Chains A and B, each alone.
Chain A
Amino acid sequence: MRVLVPLPVVLPLLAAALNVLLARWQPVQRTVSVLTLSAVLGTAVVLLREADGSGATVVQLGGWAAPAGISLVADRLSTLLLAVSAGVLLAVLLYAIGQGVTDGGRSQVAVFHPCYMVLAAGIAMAFLTGDLFNLFVAFEVMLVASYVLITLEGGAEQVRAGMTYVVTSLVASVLFVTAVGLVYAATGTVNMADAAVRLQDVPDGVRVALGLTLLVVFGIKAAIFPLFSWLPDSYPTAPSPVTAVFAGLLTKVGVYAVLRTQTLLFPDSPAIDRVLLVLAVLTMVVGILGALVQDELKRLLSFTIVSHIGYMLLGLGLASTAGLAGAVLYTVHHIVVQTTLFLVEGLVERRDGTASLRRSGGLQHVAPVLAVLYLLPALSLAGIPPLSGFVAKLGLLQAGLADGGALALTAVAAAVLTSLLTLYAMGKVWSEVFWGPVAEVVADADRTDDLDLGTARTPGLMLGAAVVAVVAGLAITVVAGPLYGLSARAAEDLVSPEGYVTAVLDGAP
């Protein structure tokens, strides 16, 4: 099994190199990408079964024993998120191929596939690594690919948004290097398992300061209030599949990093937990209020990403097994549902020719399938039973009520309020886009590029990928019981990290 652990990182990197060489043979490029991501998905599922059945699999890269070498750790949490991410990456890739944004268009250089593979490698490395500096490298690999993808079209609006996005991410990276330096100065190690042991001897004040520095770093990546304003500004300018994969995965990698570092390196820090709960309330409420006033579908959905990051923080801030289990399940649910909504948004934009709420309408008459595809994930996001959002929210709310503290109850109230406001935002989209008189289709402003807008002709692959994503969201409801069990076992690992530490430090090289 150990040989499988580096594969989710190595395979996409190899595929990226191959795709650069194959830039002129686009059908081959597509095949390479699809096969690679399928292999990553298969590997991730095998690793998940292994991690759940017989504990974490640890690989010491290059045969250097921890803490000198870099450890890759495939435990329940990392493999669960890896498997879900690989599935989402594959679905979005198929959608992007169907839409035609992958083929280079005017520039005739098919840069999409190599970048997409590098992105997949970065995401997998961030989930698997057990080393703080390697986590920084993983973030950089992922972000550099995302810089290219977000400025893919290279128009004035993309460059403006890309500038904001790149500069914000770079500031976070500088802070990350700073935090790694400070952790190294305090403990003399960057191996997370080793640092977890050594941080226990570090004075409380220093520990909390390190924890909060890392929280700021990952807070920028995860778009936590008040560090979120770059997200709704930059995401909507990219093509729909790119926005979909960013919305589903990039912020969740940040959330994963927060989950991992706060539970492993800084357990039993009530001060940080209180901060997390306050941030959770503010992120949820401010994010959804931002969504309500938007007139553009993509911007509205971008604000809901921010808002729903708050739910995951809520689970983490409760610092109980039930809270963390809720947070893990919510992350899985949100990756799938948010990605699906952006895929459907792409279909709506293709049909209507615009993402503006005011200029569209009556879509349920001309495209009833699209209406169903939107309605299911939208209701799930708002938490209507029996969809997956309801199950995940129920877990979090029960954990919050069980906690019983004033701050926890406030957070629960804010979560319920955010749920209602999400339903209102989703309803607003429904009434503007799908109900009402049929609006005139907005003609494609630029017919020379590879994005077709305002056409009734939808490629089967696009529609198929969106349907698969919707069905995957429904499947979470069906397997909610076993999935919650798995999340609870993953949360158990997080609450008592001794197993993780022993697995890494005592593992054979």
Chain B
Amino acid sequence: MTGNLVLALLIGVLYAVGTYLLLQRTLTRVVLGLGLLSHGANLLLLAAGGRPGAVPFAGSTDGAAGAGTADPLPQAMVLTAIVITFGVTAFLLALAFRSWLLTGEDSVQDDVEDRRIAAASPAGHAHAARPEDEA
């Protein structure tokens, strides 16, 4: 199988930027990061199908089956994956919006254990008391 350098680089960039955004504390960036990451994964799956080719109809007579035709399977799978990602991203956006409504902040909240540790240490307490520590 021959590769496609531009596609490979694009996939790499999407994974890198997606991972970077995912590690941010702002919920909007997390959602965007996940979107980019899944684009990268979908492209990777598409690239796994090999080079583009003729239309792959079952039982088509022009050209020997398999030779010169595109591989339809990864395309079908990517389509499924895109639909799933779309639905889940919509849910995630709704959840992020709800979080903003409830807390007034577009940021990831500390979990129970974090809060407990922050409350236990005086330095951590001062740190936790500042709401804009990420800004």
Residues of B within 8 A of A154 (CB): 98
| A163 to B40 CA separation, bound complex (whole angstroms) | 22
- B22 engages A171 (CB within 8 Å): yes
The answer to whether the Cβ of A190 comes within 8 Å of any Cβ in the partner chain is yes
- A190 engages B77 (CB within 8 Å): yes
Pick the contact of A233 from B41, B87, B112 — CB < 8 Å?
A: B112
Given A177-B38, A233-B113, are A163 and B103 also a contact pair (CB < 8 Å)? no
Pick the contact of B44 from A136, A173, A178 — CB < 8 Å?
A: A178
Given A156-B102, A177-B38, A299-B112, are A166 and B91 also a contact pair (CB < 8 Å)? yes
- Among A53-61, A181-189, A465-473, the stretch that binds chain B is A181-189
- B113 engages A144 (CB within 8 Å): no
- The interface size bin for chain B is 35 or more
- A174 engages B41 (CB within 8 Å): yes
Residues of A within 8 A of B49 (CB): 184
- A166 engages B92 (CB within 8 Å): yes
- A170 engages B95 (CB within 8 Å): no
Pick the contact of A147 from B22, B34, B40, B91 — CB < 8 Å?
A: B91
- A174 engages B95 (CB within 8 Å): no
The answer to whether the Cβ of B88 comes within 8 Å of any Cβ in the partner chain is yes
Interface of A is mostly: helix
The answer to whether the Cβ of A400 comes within 8 Å of any Cβ in the partner chain is no
- B-contact bits for A109-121, CB 8 A (1 contact / 0 none): 0000000000000
The answer to whether the Cβ of B74 comes within 8 Å of any Cβ in the partner chain is yes
Given A137-B84, A140-B84, A184-B48, are A163 and B77 also a contact pair (CB < 8 Å)? no
Given A167-B34, A167-B92, A180-B77, are A159 and B98 also a contact pair (CB < 8 Å)? yes
Pick the contact of B108 from A136, A163, A174, A190 — CB < 8 Å?
A: A163
The answer to whether the Cβ of A164 comes within 8 Å of any Cβ in the partner chain is yes
Residues of B within 8 A of A233 (CB): 111-113
* Closest Cβ neighbor of B34 among chain A residues: A170
* Closest Cβ neighbor of B102 among chain A residues: A156
* B:1-60 near A, CB below 8 Å: 1, 22, 27, 30, 34, 37-38, 40-42, 44-45, 47-49
Pick the contact of B45 from A147, A159, A173, A181 — CB < 8 Å?
A: A181
Residues of A within 8 A of B95 (CB): 151, 159, 162-163, 166
With most chain A CB atoms within 10 A of its CB, the pick from B42, B77, B80, B92 is B77
Residues of B within 8 A of A140 (CB): 84, 88
Residues of B within 8 A of A24 (CB): none
| A95 to B51 CA separation, bound complex (whole angstroms) | 54
| A133 to B45 CA separation, bound complex (whole angstroms) | 11
- A159 engages B102 (CB within 8 Å): yes
* Closest Cβ neighbor of B49 among chain A residues: A184
Q: Shortest Cβ distance from A184 into chain B, in angstroms?
A: 4
- A180 engages B34 (CB within 8 Å): no
Interface of B is mostly: helix
- B41 engages A181 (CB within 8 Å): yes
- A-contact bits for B73-106, CB 8 A (1 contact / 0 none): 1100100110010011001100110110011000
With most chain B CB atoms within 10 A of its CB, the pick from A151, A163, A181, A185 is A181
* Closest Cβ neighbor of B19 among chain A residues: A171
* Closest Cβ neighbor of A166 among chain B residues: B92
The answer to whether the Cβ of A160 comes within 8 Å of any Cβ in the partner chain is yes
Pick the contact of B80 from A137, A151, A162, A175 — CB < 8 Å?
A: A137
Given A137-B84, A156-B103, are A144 and B91 also a contact pair (CB < 8 Å)? yes
Q: Shortest Cβ distance from A197 into chain B, in angstroms?
A: 17
Given A144-B91, A167-B30, are A133 and B37 also a contact pair (CB < 8 Å)? no
Residues of A within 8 A of B91 (CB): 144, 147-148, 166
- A164 engages B111 (CB within 8 Å): yes
- A166 engages B88 (CB within 8 Å): yes
Pick the contact of A184 from B40, B45, B108 — CB < 8 Å?
A: B45
Pick the contact of A185 from B1, B42, B87, B96 — CB < 8 Å?
A: B1
Given A144-B91, A170-B88, are A177 and B27 also a contact pair (CB < 8 Å)? no
Pick the contact of B38 from A148, A167, A174, A299 — CB < 8 Å?
A: A174
Given A162-B95, A164-B111, A178-B44, are A190 and B88 also a contact pair (CB < 8 Å)? no
Residues of B within 8 A of A164 (CB): 108, 111
Residues of A within 8 A of B34 (CB): 167, 170-171, 174
| A422 to B111 CA separation, bound complex (whole angstroms) | 25
Q: Shortest Cβ distance from B119 into chain A, in angstroms?
A: 13
Residues of B within 8 A of A163 (CB): 27, 95-96, 99, 108-109
* Closest Cβ neighbor of B18 among chain A residues: A174
- A133 engages B77 (CB within 8 Å): yes
Q: Shortest Cβ distance from A118 into chain B, in angstroms?
A: 12
Residues of B within 8 A of A167 (CB): 22, 30, 34, 92
Given A133-B77, A166-B88, A299-B112, are A182 and B98 also a contact pair (CB < 8 Å)? no
| A162 to B103 CA separation, bound complex (whole angstroms) | 14
Residues of A within 8 A of B45 (CB): 177-178, 180-181, 184
| A156 to B48 CA separation, bound complex (whole angstroms) | 42
Contacts beyond the supplied A136-B81, A170-B34: 4 A-B pairs with Cβ under 8 Å: A148-B91, A160-B111, A170-B88, A184-B45
Interchain Cβ contacts under 8 Å between A and B, 7 examples: A160-B99, A160-B111, A163-B95, A166-B95, A167-B22, A177-B44, A181-B48
**Which residues does A use to contact B, with CB under 8 Å?**
133, 136-137, 140, 144, 147-148, 151, 154-156, 159-164, 166-167, 170-171, 173-175, 177-178, 180-182, 184-185, 190, 233, 299
**Which residues does B use to contact A, with CB under 8 Å?**
1, 22, 27, 30, 34, 37-38, 40-42, 44-45, 47-49, 73-74, 77, 80-81, 84, 87-88, 91-92, 95-96, 98-99, 102-103, 108-109, 111-113
